């Protein structure tokens, strides 16, 4: 975890130096898994095809496009629910597609998903991506973001995809 540790990452808030597979990391894994499952359950009927596959990110993009039109009118709690749910969905697609581990990125106070350890560390900040997509429109679509992440993994590069 050399590269990521440099950027002040932890497995969970205030968890010290826990390793993947320990209680705090498993708690974060479970929390994100439940968020993703809840998001899927809530939106699968309205957006058929959400199934944690890479192609389903196009459907997620449609959902975010629809939500971006009234994102600014949402309450803070509503904004957080869609950011966390859609972000957890992206993380789950990544986990199923490439494998990896969750950590807590303290500087942004949000989870990060890291793939490639111990040989390289490609990380993604899906919550930041979703928030940016909802606030700024279609300029940075989720499928393109995920493609950048998978390209970095395939090249075995240490990078954080923001």
Where along the chain do its domains lie?
Answer: 2-13+20-161
Residue 6 scores a pLDDT above 50: no
pLDDT value at position 48? 97
d(CA 21, CA 148): 27
The mean per-residue pLDDT over the stretch 72-83 comes to: 97
Percent of the chain past pLDDT 90, that is, above it, reads 80
Residue 20 scores a pLDDT above 50: no
The predicted-structure confidence for 127-147, as pLDDT tens digits, reads as follows 999 999 999 988 889 999 999
Binned at pLDDT 50, 70 and 90, residue 5 comes out as low
The predicted-structure confidence for 34-71, as pLDDT tens digits, reads as follows 999 999 999 999 999 999 999 999 999 999 999 999 99
d(CA 148, CA 162): 10
Taking CA atoms, 80 is separated from 14, 40, 76, 154, in Å, by: 22, 16, 6, 31
d(CA 135, CA 104): 23
| 110-115 β-sheet, strand order | 9-10, 101-105, 110-115, 122-124, 159-161
Mean pLDDT of the chain: 88
Taking CA atoms, 145 is separated from 41, 64, 77, 138, 149, in Å, by: 24, 14, 25, 11, 6
Cα distance from N-terminal residue to C-terminal residue, the chain = 18
């Amino acid at each position: 975890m050399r590269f990521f540790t440099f950027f002040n990452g932890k497995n969970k808030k205030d968890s010290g130096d826990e390793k993947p597979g320990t209680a705090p990391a498993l708690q974060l894994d479970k929390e994100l898994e439940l968020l993703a499952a809840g998001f899927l359950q809530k939106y699968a009927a309205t957006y058929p095809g959400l199934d944690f596959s890479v192609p389903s990110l196009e459907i997620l993009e449609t959902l975010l496009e629809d939500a971006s039109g009234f994102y600014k009118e949402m309450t803070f709690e509503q904004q957080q629910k869609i950011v966390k749910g859609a972000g957890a969905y992206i993380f789950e697609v990544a986990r199923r597609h490439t494998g990896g581990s969750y950590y807590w990125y303290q500087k942004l106070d949000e989870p990060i998903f890291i793939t490639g350890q111990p040989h390289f560390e490609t990380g993604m900040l899906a919550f930041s991506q979703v928030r940016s997509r909802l606030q700024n429109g279609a300029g940075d679509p989720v499928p393109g973001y995920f493609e950048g992440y998978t390209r970095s993994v395939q090249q075995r590069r240490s990078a954080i995809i923001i």
